[in-house]
Structure 1
Amino acid sequence: MQHAQGRISALLRAVMLVTDESDPGAVLRQLVTCARDLTGAAWAAVVPSDEPARPDEMIRAGLEGVDAGRLGRIAHGLHALQGLFEDRDTVRVDDAVRHLPGAPPVSALLGSVIRTRSGDVAHLYLADKHRPGHSPGPFTTEDEELVQVLASAAGNAMDHAALLERTRLREAWRHAHTQLTTAILGGADCDRALQVIAEQALRIAEADAALVSLPDQSPDRLVVRAAAGLGSADLLDRTPSVDATSLTGRAYATGRPQISDDGSGPRVLGPELPIATSLGPAMAVPLTDRDTPVGTLSVARARTRGRFGDTEVELLASFAVQAALTRRLAAHRADEEQLRLLRDRDRIGADLHDRTIHDLYAIGLDLHSIAGRLDADGQQAVLDVADRIDEVIQDVTGTVFRLRIGPDR
Structure 2
Amino acid sequence: MTDPIGYHIPTAPDSVSGLFDSALALTSRLDLTEALQEFVETARRLTSAKYAALGILGSRGETVAFHFSGMEVSEAERLPHPPHGSGVFAEIPVNAPLIINDLASHPAFQGWPEQHPRMKNFLGVPVRIQEQVYGRLYLADKKGGFDDDDAANMVMLANAAAIAVQNSRLYAESEDRAAWIAVSQAITTALLEGTDEEEALELIAKKMRVVSKSCTALIVLPSVGDAWVCEIADGYEAENMIGLEFPPEGRAQTVIREGSGVVVDSMTRTRTMRIPALRGYGPALYAPMMVQGVGAGVIILLRSRSQPEFDLADLAMAESVSKQAALALELASARHAQDVAAQIDERAKIGRDLHDLAIQQLFATGMQITAIREDLESKNGPPDVIGLLNQAIESVDESVKEIRHIVHRLREPDANVVVVERLRREASLARTSLGFAPSFVITLHGQAIPSDADNETVAEIDNLIGADIADDIVAVVREGLSNAARHAKASSVGVTVSVDEKEVRIIVSDDGVGLSPSRARRSGLANLAARARRHGGGFELARGEQHGSVVQWWAPLG
TM-score by length of 1: 0.83
Distance apart, 1:379 and its partner CA: 3.0
Distance apart, 1:342 and its partner CA: 1.8
Q: Which residue of 354, 357, 360 corresponds with 1:355?
A: 357
Q: Which residue of 99, 102, 108 corresponds with 2:111?
A: 102
* Structure 1 residues 208 and 266: CA distance shift in structure 2, 3 A: farther
Q: Corresponding residue for 1:111?
A: 124
Q: Corresponding residue for 1:66?
A: 75
Distance apart, 1:166 and its partner CA: 1.0
Superposed counterparts of 1:289-304, under 5 Å: 289-304=291-306
Q: Corresponding residue for 1:178?
A: 185
* Structure 1 residues 118 and 394: CA distance shift in structure 2, 3 A: farther
Distance in 1, matches of 2:321 and 2:382, equals 82
Distance apart, 1:70 and its partner CA: 4.6
8 Å CA contact retained: 1:240, 1:249: no
8 Å CA contact retained: 1:24, 1:162: yes
Q: Corresponding residue for 2:403?
A: 396
Unaligned 5+ residue runs, structure 1?
132-136
Q: Which residue of 357, 381, 388 corresponds with 2:388?
A: 381
Superposed counterparts of 1:192-271, under 5 Å: 192-224=199-231, 226-233=232-239, 235-236=241-242, 238-244=243-249, 248-264=252-268, 265=270, 270-271=275-276
Distance in 1, matches of 2:238 and 2:78, equals 39
Q: Percent identical across equivalent pairs?
A: 24
8 Å CA contact retained: 2:263, 2:311: no
The 10-residue stretch of structure 1 (213-222 or 143-152) with the greater mean CA deviation from structure 2: 213-222
Q: Which residue of 168, 171, 184 corresponds with 2:175?
A: 168
Distance in 1, matches of 2:94 and 2:283, equals 34
Q: Which residue of 141, 160, 166 corresponds with 1:128?
A: 141
Q: Corresponding residue for 1:187?
A: 194
**2:28 matches 1:15:** no
Distance in 2, matches of 1:392 and 1:227, equals 56
Where 1:45 maps in the other structure, the secondary structure is strand
Q: Corresponding residue for 2:509?
A: none
8 Å CA contact retained: 2:218, 2:230: no
Q: Corresponding residue for 1:325?
A: 327
The 10-residue stretch of structure 1 (151-160 or 311-320) with the greater mean CA deviation from structure 2: 311-320
Distance in 2, matches of 1:378 and 1:163, equals 96
The 10-residue stretch of structure 1 (80-89 or 338-347) with the greater mean CA deviation from structure 2: 80-89
Where 2:347 maps in the other structure, the secondary structure is helix
8 Å CA contact retained: 2:266, 2:282: yes
Distance apart, 1:311 and its partner CA: 2.0
* Structure 1 residues 88 and 334: CA distance shift in structure 2, 3 A: same
TM-score by length of 2: 0.63
Q: Corresponding residue for 2:158?
A: 151
* Structure 1 residues 29 and 53: CA distance shift in structure 2, 3 A: farther
Q: Corresponding residue for 2:442?
A: none
Counterpart residue identity of residue 271, structure 1:
P
Where 1:57 maps in the other structure, the secondary structure is strand
8 Å CA contact retained: 1:283, 1:300: yes
Counterpart residue identity of residue 177, structure 2:
R
* Structure 1 residues 304 and 82: CA distance shift in structure 2, 3 A: closer
Counterpart residue identity of residue 110, structure 2:
P
Q: Which residue of 37, 50, 53 corresponds with 1:42?
A: 50
* Structure 1 residues 128 and 244: CA distance shift in structure 2, 3 A: farther
Distance apart, 1:287 and its partner CA: 0.1
Counterpart residue identity of residue 161, structure 2:
A
* Structure 1 residues 364 and 40: CA distance shift in structure 2, 3 A: same
Offset from partner CA, 1:56-101 (integer Å, 9 cap, x none): 83221123343657553x612x444454344533222223233331
Counterpart residue identity of residue 345, structure 2:
R
Distance in 2, matches of 1:251 and 1:307, equals 19
Between Structure 1 and Structure 2, which shows a larger proportion of helix residues? 1
Distance in 2, matches of 1:223 and 1:191, equals 13
Distance in 2, matches of 1:268 and 1:379, equals 90
Distance apart, 1:149 and its partner CA: 0.7
* Structure 1 residues 230 and 266: CA distance shift in structure 2, 3 A: farther
Distance apart, 1:212 and its partner CA: 2.6
8 Å CA contact retained: 1:242, 1:250: no
* Structure 1 residues 278 and 400: CA distance shift in structure 2, 3 A: farther
Unaligned 5+ residue runs, structure 2?
1-9, 415-425, 427-470, 472-558
Distance apart, 1:394 and its partner CA: 4.5
Counterpart residue identity of residue 123, structure 1:
R
8 Å CA contact retained: 1:286, 1:320: yes
